[in-house]
Amino acid sequence: MTSRLQLFVQKTLMFHIFHHEGEVNECEESGASTIRYHLHWEKAFTDRIIHRLTRTKLVETDGCVIRLTQAGRSKSQKDYEELFG
């Protein structure tokens, strides 16, 4: 996977998690075993992306939910502002 594509998919996953933070259905939308269905990704692909983001401390697993760390939330907000002003 090219580095540009890797950055794109990491941002996509992080935006998805950020969008659903605190919602009633957060466990379904950002669940470790269900998020791939919402992103229409294969399990192995999703697991690799989550592993990379966990390793860089941008996300963490909290029970059944994948959550942004404070660094991940800050990065998502910054990236969002860069894209959408």
pLDDT of residue 1: 79
pTM of the model: 0.93
CA angle at 37 for the pair 2 and 28, rounded to the nearest 5°: 125
The tokens for 26 are: 């957060």
Of 44, 54, 39, 43, which is closest to residue 9 (Cα–Cα)? 39
Residue boundaries of the structural domains of the chain: 3-84
- Segment 12-24 shows an average pLDDT of 96
User: Residues with Cβ < 8 Å from 10, sequence gap 6 or more?
Assistant: 49, 52, 53, 58
* Assigned CATH topology for domain 3-84: Arc Repressor Mutant, subunit A (1.10.10)
